[in-house]
Amino acid sequence: MPAYKDEKTGKWYTAFYFTNWKGVKEKKMKRGFAKKADALQWEREFLQQQTADLDMSFGAFVELYSRDMKARLRQNTWQTKENIIQTKLLP
């Protein structure tokens, strides 16, 4: 899980290989992090989402679900779902 510093811009980036859901190895690169820790954290979260591992915490799953579903639903529907998640499920 390496992170590298771009000498040209002074920002950090991460580059790594992962196996996608089809079983094909792919290379992923993300640039523009202010700190090395931010780059490593982003990589860790990305790999956790891609592995479809059951070790993911419920809070992380809710965050992933929120990012995916918020754009698909009408605003009122999303607000209802978000209220149920925040008041009933997460506590």
pLDDT for 50-71, tens place per residue?
876 667 778 888 888 898 899 9
Tell me how far apart the alpha carbons of residues 58 and 51 are, in angstroms, rounded to a whole number.
Answer: 15
Tell me how far apart the alpha carbons of residues 9 and 87 are, in angstroms, rounded to a whole number.
Answer: 43
Q: Which range (14-18, 29-33, 35-39, 47-51) has the least confidence?
A: 47-51
Cβ-proximal residues to 44 (8 Å cutoff; 6+ apart), any chain = 1
Tell me how far apart the alpha carbons of residues 59 and 9 are, in angstroms, rounded to a whole number.
Answer: 34
More confident residue, 77 or 50: 77
Query: Would you call 15 helix, strand, or coil by DSSP?
Result: strand
Domain residue spans of the chain: 1-54, 57-91
Q: What is the mean pLDDT of the chain?
A: 89
The C-alpha torsion from 41 through 63 and 23 to 5, rounded to 10°, is: -20
More confident residue, 86 or 59: 86
Predicted local confidence at residue 79, as pLDDT? 95
Residue 45 pLDDT level (bands cut at 50, 70, 90): confident
